């Protein structure tokens, strides 16, 4: 599993600025479950090829007893519990405060590695500004400017160095890695029990994952899968009643570790912002996805129509995903769900031959050429595959920076249709050739 970093500190020390820097300003996933305020934000960052998760928190006042400040402190405490490492942010312009000392004492007792980050130090002498913060007893202060990016990469390299890089696993040996995700009480554990609880099930615990998330290979109808459960699987071969415990970090880590995500929603409830956030994170991560609408047997015809309209309205960006209406409790529709998982995995890992990719590209251009940009019309010459899970198509040509988004979607549709890539997002990258005459008069 990828490491999780929590940003903790007083209000207005630059935590959110650093969060945006680390996540490159991508939209945060927000915990909006009952009992949680909206002060814990989750995002994904990457250093080179190394992914990590970041949790942004509100201003932390550990001694608060009531009111909004207390709720913000509860969110920070939850982030501390979820994190693998803590970035304790202080403000060099304000200087060392009594509140910093209180927070430092709390973080030292957490048992997590703590990195003291002295922020807003652009243009200052690092040794001079760090001196007073040694008093906090949190180790060597690391001086940065989150707003300007100074020292941020060096800090990240230092923090991530303590976590071993995850070894690449051969997907052919264990089949698709499938994460079952969704809000509490949508039926994730019931579906897990249904998948693992039949005679043909072959299951064993696979070590090497963090916390409670266990990768469990199993076999169903002659196909092999590896299930990544966010509820915490028990001992080998046991069918269990898992306790539903909401953890955004576990959900995001499961998505990162998977080839295919089964996003479960409850037919008896409305599609929530949290469902849409998780679906959006799956798309951003490039994961193949199958949407499972559970408890379909428990709703009437009117409610079923409402659910379908709700999906079209709030999850319309999941047009590539197959939708299954199931009853995890009764096992209805589960076989079809697994068939779609297998198809989505095959699409995500598909090999796309360069000659066929180029033919599909040229046929699409012949049917509809890209629009002109001023006096220039982009020229698309050939295509090849640049990666899988999700499939990446790299297109070479001239003036490709002027290809509009609508035409990109047209090309995506052409490739999906030609190769039957149902169930996975597809990404297109452009590489323009330099005009050798552009600098010559």
Q: Are residues 76 and 29 in the same domain?
A: yes
Strongest mean pLDDT among 20-29, 177-186, 280-289, 409-418: 409-418
- What would the mean pLDDT of 212-224 be, rounded to a whole number? 72
Q: Does 313 score more than 70 pLDDT?
A: yes
Residues 188 and 115 grouped into a single domain: no
Query: Is 86 within 8 Å of 112 (Cβ atoms)?
Result: yes
Give pLDDT, residue 32: 44
231 in Cβ contact with 189 (< 8 Å):
yes
Domain tally, the chain: 3
Least confident of 25-29, 221-225, 364-368, 424-428: 25-29
Q: What is the pLDDT of residues 383-395, one digit of tens each?
A: 999 999 899 999 9
**Cα 385 → chain centroid:** 23
DSSP codes joined into one string, 391-410:
TEEEEEEESGGG--HHHHHH
Q: Please give the mean pLDDT across all residues of the chain.
A: 82
Q: Which of the four pLDDT bands, split at 50, 70 and 90, describes residue 230?
A: low
| pLDDT higher than 80, residue 362 | yes
Tokens of 301: 């015809």
The pTM assigned to this predicted structure is 0.69
Are residues 203 and 293 located together in one domain of the fold? yes
Over residues 63-81, the pLDDT tens digits come to: 767 777 777 787 788 888 8
For residue 200, the 8-state DSSP code is T
For residue 195, the enclosing domain spans 172-347
Angstrom CA distances, 191 to 246, 269, 332, stand at: 17, 18, 10
Q: Do 179 and 288 reside in the same domain of the chain? A: yes
- The DSSP bridge partners found for residue 87 are 7, 115
The CATH number given to whatever domain includes residue 319 is 3.40.50.300
Closest listed residue to residue 206, CA positions, set 227, 178, 192: 227
pLDDT at 284: 86
Q: What percent of the chain has pLDDT over 70?
A: 83
- pLDDT, one tens digit per residue, over 1-46 is 689 999 999 888 988 889 989 988 544 454 544 433 345 677 888 8
Task: Note whether 362 and 338 are same-domain residues.
Answer: no
Q: Return d(Cα 5, Cα 390) in angstroms, integer.
A: 26
Tell me the HSE value of 204 on the side-chain side, using a 13 A CA sphere: 3
Look at residue 174 in the predicted model and tell me its pLDDT.
57
Same domain, 341 and 360: no
For residues 193 and 304, membership in a common domain is answered with yes
| pLDDT tens profile 314-355 | 998 998 999 999 999 898 998 899 999 999 999 999 999 999
**pLDDT for residue 275 is more than 90:** no
Give the closest residue to 166 by CA, choosing from 86, 94, 90, 228.
228
| Same-domain status, 326 and 379 | no
Q: Flag whether 236 is in a domain.
A: yes
Average pLDDT estimate for 297-320: 92
440 pLDDT above the threshold of 60: no
Paired tokens of 344? 């989505």
Residue 353, pLDDT score:
95
**244 and 329 together in one domain:** yes
The residue ranking higher by pLDDT, 191 or 248, is 191
The answer to whether residues 146 and 207 belong to one domain is no
Cα angle, residue 212 at apex, residues 211 and 216 outer, rounded to 5° = 125
- Calculate mean pLDDT across residues 249-260: 83
**Among residues 160, 181, 204, which one ends one of the domains?**
160
User: Do both 64 and 180 map to the same domain?
Assistant: no
């Amino acid at each position: 599993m990828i490491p999780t970093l929590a940003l903790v500190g007083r209000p207005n020390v630059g935590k959110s600025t650093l969060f945006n820097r680390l996540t490159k300003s991508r939209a945060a996933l927000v915990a909006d479950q009952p009992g949680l305020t909206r002060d814990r934000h989750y995002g994904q960052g990457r250093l080179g090829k190394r992914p990590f998760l970041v949790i942004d928190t509100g201003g932390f006042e550990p001694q608060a007893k009531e009111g909004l400040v207390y709720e913000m402190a509860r969110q920070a405490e939850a982030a501390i519990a979820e994190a693998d490492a803590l970035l304790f942010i202080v403000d060099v312009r304000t200087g060392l405060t009594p509140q910093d000392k209180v927070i430092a004492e709390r973080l030292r007792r957490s048992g997590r590695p703590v990195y003291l980050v002295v922020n807003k130090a652009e243009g200052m002498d690092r040794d001079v500004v760090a001196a007073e913060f040694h008093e906090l007893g949190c180790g060597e202060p690391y001086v940065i400017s989150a707003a300007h990016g100074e020292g941020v990469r060096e800090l990240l390299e230092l923090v991530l160095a303590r976590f071993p890089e995850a070894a690449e696993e051969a997907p052919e040996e264990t089949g698709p890695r499938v994460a079952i995700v969704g809000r509490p009480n949508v039926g994730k554990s019931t579906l897990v029990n249904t998948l693992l609880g039949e005679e043909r099930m072959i299951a064993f615990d696979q070590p090497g994952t963090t916390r409670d998330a266990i990768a469990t290979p199993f076999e169903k109808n002659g196909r092999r899968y590896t299930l990544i459960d966010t509820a915490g699987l028990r001992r080998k071969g046991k069918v269990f009643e898992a306790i539903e415990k909401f953890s955004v970090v576990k959900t995001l880590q499961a998505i990162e570790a998977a080839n295919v995500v089964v996003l479960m929603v409850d037919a008896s409830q409305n599609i929530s912002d949290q469902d849409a956030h998780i679906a959006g994170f799956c798309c951003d991560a490039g994961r193949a996805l199958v949407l499972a609408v559970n408890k379909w047997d428990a709703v009437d015809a009117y409610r079923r129509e409402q659910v379908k309209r709700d999906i079209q309205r709030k999850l319309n960006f999941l047009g590539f995903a197959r939708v299954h209406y199931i009853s995890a409790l009764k096992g209805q529709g589960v076989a079809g769900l697994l068939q779609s998982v297998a198809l989505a995995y095959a699409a995500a890992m598909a090999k796309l031959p360069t000659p066929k990719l180029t033919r599909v590209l040229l046929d699409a251009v012949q049917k509809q050429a890209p629009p002109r940009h001023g006096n220039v019309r982009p020229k698309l010459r050939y295509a090849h595959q640049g990666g899988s899970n999700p499939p990446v198509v790299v297109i070479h040509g001239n003036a490709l920076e002027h290809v509009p988004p609508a035409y990109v979607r047209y090309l995506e549709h052409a490739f999906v249709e030609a190769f039957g890539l149902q169930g996975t997002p597809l990404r297109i990258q452009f590489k323009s050739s330099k005009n050798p005459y552009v600098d010559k008069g």
